[in-house]
A and B are shown apart, each in its own frame.
Chain A
Amino acid sequence: MRKILFYPLLWLLKIVNKIIPIFRKNGGTMITGKIALMLDKNFISKFKDIDYDKVIMITGTNGKTSTTNMLAHSLRNAGKTVATNLEGSNMLSGIATLLIKNSTLAGIFNKEFMVLEIDERSMQEIHKYLPANNLCITNLLKDQVQRNGDPDFIYRKIASVITDQMTLFLNNEEPRSKGLEDKAGQVIYYSLEQNVRTFKRDDFFQVSMPCPKCSSKIKYNYFNLENIGNFYCTGCEFESQKRPNVLVRNINYENKTFECDDEIYEVNYETPFYIYNYALNIAVCRYFRIPVETIKEGFKTFINPYERREEFIYNNKKIKYMRMKQENPETLQNALNDIAQDKSLKAIFIGLFEIKDFPPTYTNTFYFWDCNLKDVVSTEVEKYVSFSKSVAYDTTNRMIYAGVDKNKIITIDSDNIEEVIKELDNIETDNVYLITGMKPYKQIKKILENNKEFE
């Protein structure tokens, strides 16, 4: 499309963006971007005055939404103007929508910073039109195999956009994303020191991962999260940096504080997963010379609208929901690790379902085999309840292999949520953990909310 036609299209889409919320309260975040790209595939590159040194892309398997939220909050708290795709898609059409909303009628980008959550698979395509000079990679782990195949597939996509103009912000304890360090102009490493939640894995059947540089075995000295910890390669010199740029120390999970360069930070979220997100935020904020006191203030006031944990009371039982992403062993493992911290009597409901993300629907539960249940199994559990029509028996079988007593497992081979609730009524303990995807959780919660016992 000729540049002269860009402006009428932009104006029209700005009007459409104003109209959409009148008709669709919760939707329409990508529509104008989709239209724009349909009519002009170079639409994004036609915006002016974008300072690519102040465009920060955040990608990775887990943690990109939380980190994007947090970073946008921190920068705004420091008085910066920020455009971010929090409300929209993390693919190309979402970025186009963001630019339509954050530009003048002359197509001039009207914010100082752009903080963008980027879908790993879309990185190549987006970076072609928006060549950001800052890239944060939270981690590159197994995820959505039906779409991604294996992590190396994503690794190669991200590697293709890294240039010597770019500053990379990398997790010092995640080998695969750290493997991208060689091509960047500058690398800033963020890290967590060993802490009370640090653990080791010495199980004979535990597997590690291949080195992203030489394919030999990676060994971990310890883990801070599943597959994230201080590591070294057994075949080459690749390892966690001895002196990372940002090192979080003295984490106090009870008081929700940690230290970094002798400064004490108070935070609202105290899991190791979040502390990594905070560490990345410190790294980026420091790079852009945000004063420490302002960063600290931002952390105190940050509330994540997309928190994965929820609690409610039903029938005098405290239900603790732990959201997991299917085909993503780390989210399931991190939920299990958190449950294992609770040594009191509990019931655990697990609903893995067939995968419906893309056609065809299929019955993958093999990601559960990447998880370790030993720590949970060693705690006091009244009952385990596995539910879903197609894969409840596979879930049950995994638990039996992990050493769970068969008699403690109830298998519900049905998608009827009422049957799950019946079991919820039957158990005696008032301490209940529920691990499942967002959709079945919403179904369960909706039914319970209509019950008078719901609080």
Chain B
Amino acid sequence: MEDKTINIFWMYPDMLNLHGDRGNILALGKVADKMGLTLNVTKIERFNEKIDFEKADIMLFSPGELKVALKVLDRLKDDIREVEKYIASNKYILVIGTTGSIFGKEIELLEDSKIVKGLDFFNMYSKERNSVIGDDIYFSINDKQEIIGSQIHMLDFDVNETQVLGNIKYGYGDNGNKTEGARVKNLIFTNTLGPVFVKNPWWAESILGDIADRKGIEVKDIPVEHYEIEIKSFNSIKELIDKKLEKI
């Protein structure tokens, strides 16, 4: 029988625990199930735990406090060659919120303007803010897929234009300059919370579909009516966003 398993590594779920992002694992599992796939979730829970990069198809890094994200950065530096190889082989890393900063070039901290070197996969510079921005976010990826959610912004991101993930229709995005997130191969960074894959299962479907395709697994199409609640949620929030845009 064909093995239809997709392996996801849930990276440091207890440490990177802000904003209810465990929902993303549940959403990816739900979408995988509808596609006829099995999502096998492995938790990586300790900093001294060995990571089996060969086994993973997706690694998910949720938002965490910056001091914790910097610990994760130190840990990944120990395995930098493995991470490079993993990304070069077009496997997926999904990284959300503040944690995205560790995949860029540099992070400037508020404390004494200290600079921390990142993993340097994104041509991206991050700077800790002294105030928080909380708002909705609405953007498109390649003008094809529309994503909606919320954003709690504690770092500004300056992303090289060739690596931008999406174009902002409403919200602050990376730094208020109409760009959202970053992407290099299948290393994807987004500021979007919600959890993002709960509110935008169509994005989860396209990621899982791509992985299945690469692994030669056939998948079932998900009828649009399966997304009835998510579409209604999308429209309700878009209505509020439209009102906010009218006031700008």
Contacts and interface: CB of A to CB of B under 8 A. Distances in A.
Contacts of B150: 362-364, 366
13 contacts: A145-B152, A149-B132, A205-B25, A207-B22, A208-B17, A215-B47, A216-B15, A235-B46, A362-B136, A367-B19, A393-B233, A397-B229, A401-B30
B18 A217 contact: no
B20 A146 contact: no
Contacts of A394: 194, 199, 233
A79 to B, nearest CB: 45
B218 interface: no
Given A216-B47, A362-B135, A400-B229, A210 B68 contact: yes
Interface stretch (B59-67, B78-86, B157-165, B181-189): B59-67
Contacts of A147: 132, 134
Interface string B216-232: 00000000000001101
A369 B65 contact: no
A217 B136 CA distance: 30
A390 B240 contact: yes
Interface string B104-139: 000000000000000000000000000010111000
Contacts of B26: 205, 401
B132 A145 contact: yes
B71 interface: yes
Interface string B143-187: 000000010101000000000000000000000000000000000
A400 B198 CA distance: 11
A218 B46 CA distance: 11
Given A363-B240, A413-B236, A145 B15 contact: no
B45 interface: yes
B244 interface: yes
A360 interface: yes
A401 B232 CA distance: 16
A231 B139 CA distance: 41
A149 B45 contact: no
A360 B17 CA distance: 25
B33 interface: no
A234 interface: yes
A368 B20 contact: yes
Interface of B: 12-15, 17-23, 25-27, 30, 41, 43, 45-47, 64-68, 71, 98, 132, 134-136, 150, 152, 154, 193-195, 198-199, 229-230, 232-233, 236-237, 239-240, 244
State the 4 A-B residue pairs at the shortest beta-carbon distance, nearest first. A369-B20, A146-B134, A393-B233, A152-B65
Nearest to B129: A149
A16 interface: no
Contacts of A358: 134
Given A151-B65, A152-B65, A215 B230 contact: no
B14 A209 contact: yes
A400 B229 CA distance: 10
Residue among A149, A392, A397 with max Cβ neighbours from chain B (10 Å): A149
Contact of B132 (A146, A209, A401): A146
A407 interface: no
B14 A208 contact: yes
A390 B232 CA distance: 10
Q: What's the dominant secondary structure at chain A's contact region?
A: mixed
A392 B236 contact: yes
Nearest to A219: B14
A403 to B, nearest CB: 11
A207 B15 CA distance: 8
Given A208-B17, A361-B244, A145 B134 contact: yes
Nearest to B236: A390
A329 B26 CA distance: 18
A432 to B, nearest CB: 24
A217 B236 contact: no
Contacts of B18: 142, 145, 150
Interface string A218-231: 10000000000000
B224 to A, nearest CB: 16
Contact of A366 (B132, B194, B232): B194
Given A234-B46, A364-B134, A413-B232, A149 B152 contact: yes
Interface string A332-373: 000000000000000000000011001011111011111000
Given A363-B240, A389-B236, 7 more contacts: A150-B18, A207-B13, A207-B14, A366-B150, A392-B236, A393-B229, A396-B229
A362 B15 CA distance: 26
Interface in A140-172: 142, 145-153
A391 interface: yes
A153 B110 CA distance: 12
A234 B152 CA distance: 29
Given A360-B244, A393-B229, A366 B193 contact: yes
Contacts of B68: 152, 210, 215
B232 A150 contact: no
Nearest to B45: A217
B152 A146 contact: yes
B47 A370 contact: no
Nearest to B23: A369
Contact of B65 (A207, A210, A362, A368): A210
